[in-house]
Amino acid sequence: MFAKTQRLSRYKKRQTQYYQNKLFRTDGKKCYNRLSQPNSKVKNTPGKDEVENFWREIYGKKVSHNEEACWIKDQCQHSPSMEWGPICEKEVAEALRSTLSWKGPGRDQIPNFWLKQLTATHKHIAEIFNKLIEEDFIPEWLRAGVTYLIPKHEYTGNPKNYRPVTCLPTTYKLITFLKKIDLLL
């Protein structure tokens, strides 16, 4: 009996190891979160239509702004047009160095870890970013994020008890970071 208990224990331990290894290969951030935090259980989930209607009321409304506001005209007059310098391979590497490796990637599903490690791609990333800036065009896939609803507390039956978190594509975060640095210099 003792031998069977030990065997079952080893089996469960090994099964957990396989699961964690697979999770690490597919989603490193989720793996680290699972290891460091206990799972919060969601008991009652609202229906898909209920959630979509709730958030559509908040984010789906088209908002119009006063384009003729005097402060907008003043701002445009006092802001000189900016000349963008080309992004180089070194700037891409420096920007990646300051990012967190396992931040949640967006639709591109590329963790910063891999962009940091694959240094041969930095030159090509810089070329692509320069082309996008030159053409003044950012494609939809680069701007669209993935939104996750995180429960605020244990009362999860109502959509208002969730906090939306949007993960933008890693490449979008990188290009905006590089342009922010360009603005500051």
Per residue in 123-174, pLDDT (tens digit) is: 999 999 999 888 888 888 888 888 888 888 778 888 888 888 888 999 999 9
Residue 28's nearest CA partner among 100, 136, 120 is 100
Q: Are residues 32 and 114 in the same domain?
A: no
Query: Please, which pLDDT band fits residue 17 given cuts at 50, 70 and 90?
Result: confident
Are residues 65 and 5 part of one domain? Answer: no
Q: Are residues 1 and 20 in the same domain?
A: yes
Average pLDDT over residues 2-14: 85
Give this prediction's pTM. Answer: 0.62
Q: How confident is the model at residue 122 (pLDDT cuts 50, 70, 90)?
A: very high
Domain count within the chain: 2
Q: Which residues of 71-106 are buried (b: 16+ CB within 10 A; e: fewer)?
A: eeeeeeeeeeeeeeeebeeebbbebbeebeebebbb
- Does 47 lie in the same domain as 34? no
Clarify whether residues 23 and 49 are in a common domain. Answer: no
Do 34 and 49 belong together in one domain? no
pLDDT of residue 115: 93
Domain shared by 73 and 35, yes or no: no
| Structural domain for 99, as ranges | 43-184
* In the predicted structure, residue 180 carries a pLDDT above the cut 80: no
